[in-house]
Amino acid sequence: MHHLINEYRPLQARDTLRMMQSQQLKELKKTVKRFKGHLTAGKAALREELSLSDLKLTPVPRPSPLTGIDIDSDEENMPALTKMEVSFMGLIVVYDVT
* Residue 9 forms part of a structural domain: yes
* Residue 71 forms part of a structural domain: no
Residue 82 has pLDDT above 90, yes or no: no
Model confidence over 29-48: pLDDT tens digits? 999 999 999 999 988 888 88
* Residue 63 forms part of a structural domain: no
Residue 81 has pLDDT above 60, yes or no: no
- 65-67-69-70 Cα dihedral, nearest 10 degrees: 70
* Residue 80 forms part of a structural domain: no
Q: d(Cα 60, Cα 58) in Å, to the nearest integer?
A: 6
Range(s) of the domain holding residue 35:
1-52
Residue from 76, 72, 97 nearest 86 by CA: 97
* Residue 81 forms part of a structural domain: no
Residue from 87, 88, 78, 84 nearest 97 by CA: 84
* Residue 82 forms part of a structural domain: no
How large is the average pLDDT for residues 52-68? Answer: 62
Number of domains present in the structure of the chain: 1
